[in-house]
Amino acid sequence: MTWFRMPLFVWAHYAASILMVLGTPVLAIAIVLVALERTIGIGVFDPTKGGDPLLFQHLFWFYSHPAVYIMILPGMGVISEVISTFSRKRVFGYTAVAFSSVAIAVFGFFVWAHHMFIMGISNYAVLVFSLLTMLVAVPSAIKIFNWAFTLYKGSITFETPMLYAFGFMGLFTIGGMTGVFLGTAGTDIHLTETYFIVAHFHFVMVGGMLMAFLSGLHFWWPKMTGRMYPEKISQLAAVVTFIGFNLTFFPQFILGTLGMPRRYAAYPAEFQILNVFSTAGASILGVGYLLPVLYLVWSLKYGEIAGDNPWQATGLEWQTQSPPLTENFTELPIMDHEAYDYEWLERQKEKEVSSVG
């Protein structure tokens, strides 16, 4: 197992870990400073004590922008595994996808002030952070295009993990592209503090991360539990989730553009209809989330026995039993193939057949 034979899921976790190690202490420091200010009165953020409230925002967002990538990067790793497995092809541009995870982690530390364009930072700072924000779009787009090329001419099947992966690709792309409107200072000043932000954030976090989570949960469910989930009803749940999600959050882009502010309990009558759509969508989304809870619990006892490798995937976890035994393998596995080498899997099967014969 060399660096470039690692599954892209592992690369994604590696990048997310860099963010956690470097970013989280800054949040911890900010919290300690707040505590010191409130307990022994050292002026750090409170202007009446000689502190600077903007400093809190800087420290908060220095962690909290990368925090979005801490959540989304492992999701992107899941999508690479699932897209490859259910189109029976090696991930297109493996190296580019691996390094784009690291690039997202690195660039992610230089964009935090895009949350602060209307907070009174200098125009020069706005310009620089706007430009840097656009740079993050590049590695994200590299991933989306490489997944699309992976699908191209693949033998695609539509099991539940793949349906969620398609949902991710579409919704995350909308989430990412609406981020461009917010990273551009001129449009951000109109859109910030409106429902446009709420919609954008949910397209990234729910449309992106949560779809990827559900994709990964179904993908590894047979490995984790030894049982298959019921395919038909879970496909239905994926479709219900997708419809419910769009009905909930897409109207909020329009509401935000029309100027409906966030963080208010009440709104003018003209915003009523779109809010009703949102509420109806949330109810459908609720059903979409409830279904997996029910059938996954059901499958623990009544699901079909999964076997070692129900998806014919190439990752090492699929070469051991489901659920894996303590220490994972009885003997140390030998890694003699590249990641996502489906021909290797075919050769393995032929070997087994001939040795039985």
The nearer residue to Cu ion, 132 or 217, going by C-beta atoms, is 132
Please say which residue, 253 or 271, places its beta carbon nearer to Cu ion.
253
Is the CB of 202 or the CB of 223 nearer to Cu ion?
A: 202
Q: Which residue is at the shortest CB distance from Cu ion?
A: 65
Of the candidate spans 4-12, 64-72, 211-219, 273-281, the one that interacts with Cu ion by CB under 5 A turns out to be 64-72
Residues 6+ positions from 235 with CB-CB distance below 8 Å: 158, 159, 160, 163
> Which residues within the stretch 208-227 sit at the binding site for Cu ion (CB under 5 A)?
none
Residue 321 DSSP label: -
Shortest distance, CB of residue 319 to Cu ion, whole angstroms? 39
Tokens of 316: 């090492």
- Name 138's Cβ contacts closer than 8 Å, sequence gap at least 6: 103
- Per the structure block, which two tokens stand in for 294? 């029910």
Q: What is the tally of helices (H) and strands (E) in the chain?
A: 11, 0
Minimum distance, C-beta of residue 9 to Cu ion, in the bound complex (Å): 24
Angstrom distance (rounded) from CA 192 to CA 199 = 11
Q: What distance in Å separates the CA atoms of residue 89 and residue 156, rounded to the nearest whole number? A: 9
Q: Any contact of residue 89 with Cu ion (CB under 5 A)?
A: no
Task: Please choose, out of 4-12, 61-69, 72-80, 168-176, the segment that lies near Cu ion by the rule CB under 5 A.
Answer: 61-69
Return the number of other C-beta atoms located less than 10 Å from residue 205's C-beta.
Answer: 16
Q: In whole angstroms, how close is the CB of 133 to Cu ion at the nearest point?
A: 7
Range in contact with Cu ion (rule: CB under 5 A) among 17-25, 36-44, 60-68, 216-224: 60-68
Nearer to Cu ion, 65 or 89 (CB): 65
In degrees and rounded to multiples of 5, residue 231 shows phi and psi of: -70, -45
Rounded to a whole number of angstroms, the minimum distance from the CB of residue 192 to Cu ion is 12
The alpha carbon dihedral of 287, 292, 293, 297 has a sign of: positive
Shortest reach from residue 112's CB to Cu ion, in Å: 6
Minimum Å distance from CB 147 to Cu ion?
23
Cβ nearer to Cu ion, comparing 176 with 303: 176
- Site size for Cu ion, by CB under 5 A? 1
Closer of 64 and 235 to Cu ion (Cβ): 64
Closer by beta carbon to Cu ion, 183 or else 251:
183
Distance CA 307, CA 164 (A): 23
In whole angstroms, the minimum distance from the beta carbon of 111 to Cu ion comes to: 6
Strand partners, 305: 227
Report the residue number, 194 or 314, with the smaller CB distance to Cu ion.
194
Q: At 265, is the secondary structure helix, strand, or coil?
A: coil
Neighbouring CB atoms inside 10 A of 222's CB total: 24
- What is the distance in angstroms between the CA of the first residue and the CA of the last residue of the chain? 31
CB under 5 A: which stretch of 63-71, 232-240, 282-290, 311-319 binds Cu ion? 63-71
Cα distance between residue 196 and residue 251, in whole Å: 9
Minimum gap (Å) between residue 156 Cβ and Cu ion? 33
CB of 32 to Cu ion, least distance (A): 23
How far is it between the farthest Cα atoms of the chain? 84
100 or 322: whose CB is closer to Cu ion?
100
Options 8-16, 59-67, 145-153, 188-196: segment touching Cu ion (CB under 5 A) = 59-67
Among positions 10, 23, 65, 216, the unique one binding Cu ion when judged by CB under 5 A: 65
Q: How many C-beta neighbours within 10 Å does residue 323 have?
A: 12
Which residues lie closer than 8 Å to 353 by C-beta, 6 or more apart? none
Q: Which residues bind Cu ion (CB under 5 A)?
A: 65
